[in-house]
């Protein structure tokens, strides 16, 4: 029996959202209705997109006799998202004068609508998408279906995909719309005992991180010796002159790539590397290839308040500072270049022997 795709997407219930009982609610209460929908959709849609991928890749279900029905199913999914985006846009536009709407939602909708119309962003899938929209019969070809389907990326959308396809792109853009709706509220609720002091995006010239990883660096005295060596390289300061713990997975997804944490500093491009140290280069030109050199653009967040609260990991994907920094970015619709150019850095503004209270998070601006 061929795999049968079941529509498991959580589409907005406009009959309820725009019902008479909700018509008299305040703008904030009306906005809360779509925020609530967006949270629920994040719990269901990622798996539905993976099911769609499985259905497209199932060769047993793509014979001539199934083609017309399959076109109706797939294009029906596209049409439902187009309709939902149009209604959501109109709903948010009506609320916009009240000031409750996150403006980033409109940009996220623009990006999603572009892909839904067949305007594929990535070169490697553009031809297959154009062919499918022009003549659905090309989906009988497995190589075309692979470019359309991509691979499963899991319930969080972060699992490594052997091939990134059109459905993967739609999955990410659907998430992008929802993040702009519910993340700002989530960020506020996540700040318990601490607050974001400042948040900005920085674009740096080419630079070089120099440092070292190793279990011995858990000893503060050993860490201080490392930074004493870097102190002697004052001529190579980059302007990001804090002690940091630089973390990455060499351009691989977190499900397959080993975590690496290097203590060190960001230096000028081409700075000499002391014996026993490692380095990682950063460039202002993003080539989208996996692994170093990494992109030298990032979000920079500083925090104030209870240091222990900033570092708690209970209820967070990583820890509080990591999650809040990332979630601000998602709420603003800023792209995190995961996994190819994904990196973060914990910043110790008072030195490596004190608590960190700032975070760098890779971004594509």
344: number of Cβ within 10 Å: 22
**pLDDT for res 4:** 65
CA distance 292 to 251: 7
Parallel, antiparallel, or unpaired: how do β-strands 294-295 and 297-305 relate?
unpaired
**pLDDT for res 36:** 97
Q: Work out the mean pLDDT of the chain and round it to a whole number.
A: 94
CA distance 158 to 78: 23
Please answer whether residues 270 and 283 qualify as being in contact, where contact means their C-beta atoms are separated by less than 8 angstroms: no
What is the H or E stretch that residue 245 is in? Answer: strand 243-248
pTM above 0.85, yes or no: yes
**Least reliable range by pLDDT among 5-19, 75-89, 208-222:** 5-19
CATH 3.20.80 occupies which residues in the chain?
A: 194-362
Please answer whether residues 297 and 352 qualify as being in contact, where contact means their C-beta atoms are separated by less than 8 angstroms: no
Tell me the two tokens of residue 166: 């059109």
Per-residue pLDDT tens for 292-325? 999 999 999 999 999 999 999 998 888 999 999 9
Q: Residue 2 — pLDDT band, cuts 50, 70, 90?
A: low
H-type helices in the chain, by residue range? 14-17, 20-23, 27-57, 64-95, 104-116, 123-134, 142-149, 166-190, 220-231, 307-310, 320-331
**Beta strands, E only, 147-239:** 194-203, 207-212
Of the candidates 171, 157, 159, 160, which has an alpha carbon nearest to the alpha carbon of residue 56?
171
Q: Residue 95 — pLDDT band, cuts 50, 70, 90?
A: very high
- Percentage above 90 pLDDT, the chain: 84
**pLDDT for res 1:** 43
Sign of the Cα pseudo-torsion (181, 184, 187, 193, in order): negative
Residue located via tokens 């940091």: 244
Of the candidates 199, 174, 134, 163, which has an alpha carbon nearest to the alpha carbon of residue 49?
174
Cα–Cα distances (Å) from 263 to 212, 235, 337, in that order, read 6, 20, 22
Can you name the CATH fold of 194-362?
Answer: Multidrug-efflux Transporter 1 Regulator Bmrr; Chain A (3.20.80)
Instruction: Give the 3-state secondary structure of residue 268.
Output: strand
CA distance 321 to 191: 9
Please answer whether residues 159 and 60 qualify as being in contact, where contact means their C-beta atoms are separated by less than 8 angstroms: no
160 pLDDT more than 90: no
**pLDDT for res 3:** 65
Q: What is the mean pLDDT of residues 127-153?
A: 94
350 pLDDT more than 70: yes
Parallel, antiparallel, or unpaired: how do β-strands 294-295 and 278-283 relate?
parallel
204 pLDDT more than 50: yes
């Amino acid at each position: 029996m061929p795999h049968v795709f079941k529509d498991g997407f959580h589409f907005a219930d406009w009959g309820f959202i725009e019902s008479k009982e909700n018509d008299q609610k305040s703008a904030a209460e009306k906005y809360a209705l779509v925020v609530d929908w967006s949270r629920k959709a994040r719990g269901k849609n990622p798996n539905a997109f993976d099911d769609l991928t499985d259905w497209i890749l199932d060769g047993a279900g793509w014979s001539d006799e199934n083609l017309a029905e399959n076109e109706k199913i797939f294009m029906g999914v596209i049409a439902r998202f187009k309709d939902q985006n149009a209604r959501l846009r109109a709903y948010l536009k009506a609320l916009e004068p009240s000031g409750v709407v996150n403006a980033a939602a409109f940009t996220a909708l623009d990006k999603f609508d572009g892909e839904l119309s067949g305007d594929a962003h990535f070169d490697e899938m553009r031809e297959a998408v154009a062919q499918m929209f022009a003549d659905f019969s090309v989906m009988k070809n497995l190589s075309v279906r692979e470019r359309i389907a991509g691979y499963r990326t899991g319930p969080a959308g972060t699992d490594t995909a052997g091939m990134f396809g059109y459905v993967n792109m739609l999955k990410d853009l659907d998430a992008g719309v929802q993040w702009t709706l519910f993340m700002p509220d989530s960020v506020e609720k996540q700040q318990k005992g601490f607050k974001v002091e400042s948040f900005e995006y920085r674009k740096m010239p080419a630079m070089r991180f120099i440092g070292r990883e190793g279990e011995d660096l858990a000893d503060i005295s050993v860490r201080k010796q490392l930074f004493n060596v870097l102190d002697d390289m004052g001529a190579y300061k980059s302007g990001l002159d804090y002690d940091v713990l630089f973390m990455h997975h060499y351009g691989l997804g977190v499900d397959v790539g080993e975590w690496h944490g290097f203590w060190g500093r960001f230096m000028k491009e081409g700075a000499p590397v002391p014996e026993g140290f490692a380095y990682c280069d950063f460039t202002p030109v993003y080539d989208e290839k996996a692994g170093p050199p990494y992109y030298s653009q990032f979000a920079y967040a500083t925090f104030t308040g209870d240091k222990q609260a900033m570092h708690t990991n209970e209820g967070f994907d990583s820890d509080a500072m990591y999650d809040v920094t990332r979630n601000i970015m998602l709420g603003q619709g800023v792209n995190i270049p995961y996994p190819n150019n994904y990196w973060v850095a914990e910043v110790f503004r008072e030195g490596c022997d004190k608590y960190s209270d700032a975070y760098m998070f890779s971004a594509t601006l």
